[in-house]
Amino acid sequence: MDLDQARCSLTMRLNEAPKSGSLAFSTSPKEEYKRIVEENLALDPEGKPFKMLVFKDSPRRSGGRLLLVDEMLHDDQDRCKNRLRPIRSVPKSADKILDAPNLVDDYYLNLMDWGSKNILALALGDSLYLWNATSGDVEELLTSDSDESQPASVAWSSDGRTLAVGFTDSTVQIWDTAAARQVRVLRGHRDRVSSLSWNCNLLSSGSRDASIINHDVRAGASSASRFQGHSSEVCGLRWSAGGNLLASGGNDNRVFVWEAPNRRSSRHLHRLHGHSAAVRALAWSPHQPNLLASGGGTADRSIKFWNTQAGSCATTVDTGSQVCALEWNRHRSEILSAHGFSRNQLSLWSYPSMLKVGDMNGHSNRVLHLSQSPDGMTVASAGADETLRFWKVFGPPQAIAAAAGNRKSSGPSFSMNRSFIR
């Protein structure tokens, strides 16, 4: 019902006084009422429905009137919702900082991974350390006894018990971390192994020899298969959560997508073009199984989002600086990027709008590595400034956060204890 029209008609009727000496109604009150109702509920002068009974969004509504009551209430509700909606923010400083001396400043290496047992593995120089995030204890797992062999990549298995370590001498070592012993050495590459990714019992390794080898760690050396597609170092590898797709990024500025059932052939599913610099940063969306994010180096500076089902680029955003690493927020549709020159910052973006939520500063040199805790709430960043920083940027799932917000808070508490990773 057009309440404005009704109000206007009522007002006009009340203001119309009968002329002196005349009757208020030329007909009976009942007939006059019927006439007024028919006039306002029937047709306009053009023969079209108009008066009070009209859809509120109808183009026949007359302009220049006051807002309808329901529209006014709707606007008030929207304003209330906006006032109640929590403002998303990022931490102003790291929750914890550890010194990481001798962290190699090499864009193409992957020297940090946080396992499902809440143990973070970090390679520093010729040694590899395990930092227990629960207890804070640090353990040296290995130290290379050769100047020609240093850790170049690390990756935890999904159960958090087995650690794969790629070396500059082209080998891959498999370690039982609970027993602190090496259980196997994998061979096949001709140059350093700079990227690793697990898919159950399948370990994929990427090398500067431009190849990818898939090792079944349960079987013998003959079980290995090879992907050949890149023309330069394979510096990024990431299996999808479902284990059906492998993404690889290289110094040839290319992104390849490989299908798991075809791992015994060199046939790729997609070869994705668009970056103009090396691609090391790769991250599969935890919310959309066919959505892959990739980040380009200094000459590119962009984050691209790929539809791996169609093999097409869905979105591109220019970040303004080298993209070194990417991590999706598991609890909401956000992605965190780590950057190099000129600001060496971490940036949080809202997907799919790619509006920047905020930047986190603290590193004085490029942020080479990102890895998140098993609960998905904290992200560790390792930089060429030889520091390891922990950021409570993702937080708990929204439902848990809302419940916690209803309880009385004692205020934020930050642990800025500075210590060494070794």
Establish whether the linkage from the previous residue to 342 is cis, with ω within 30° of 0. yes
Digitized pLDDT (tens) for each residue of the chain, 422 residues in all: 555 555 555 555 545 544 444 444 456 777 776 676 666 655 555 555 555 555 545 544 444 444 555 665 566 666 555 544 457 889 999 999 999 999 999 999 999 999 999 999 999 999 999 999 999 999 999 999 888 899 999 999 999 999 999 999 999 999 999 999 999 999 999 999 999 999 999 999 999 999 999 999 987 765 778 999 999 999 999 999 999 999 999 999 999 999 986 545 568 999 999 999 999 999 999 999 999 999 999 999 999 999 999 999 999 999 999 999 999 999 999 999 999 998 999 999 999 999 999 999 999 999 999 999 999 999 999 999 999 999 999 988 764 455 445 444 333 333 334 566 66
CB atoms within 10 A of CB 412: 9
Q: Which ranges constitute the DSSP H helices of 140-296?
A: none
For residues 92 and 104, the answer to whether their CB atoms sit within 8 Å is no
345-384 burial string, b = 16+ CB within 10 Å, else e? bbbbbebeeeeeeeebebbeebbbbbbbbeebbbbbbbbb
Instruction: Kindly report the pTM of this predicted structure.
Output: 0.77
Question: Apex CA 352: angle with CA 302 and CA 112, to 5°?
Answer: 55
Largest CA distance in the chain: 120
Domains for the chain: give ranges and CATH numbers.
3-84 (no CATH), 96-402+415-420 (2.130.10.10)
For residues 133 and 156, the answer to whether their CB atoms sit within 8 Å is no
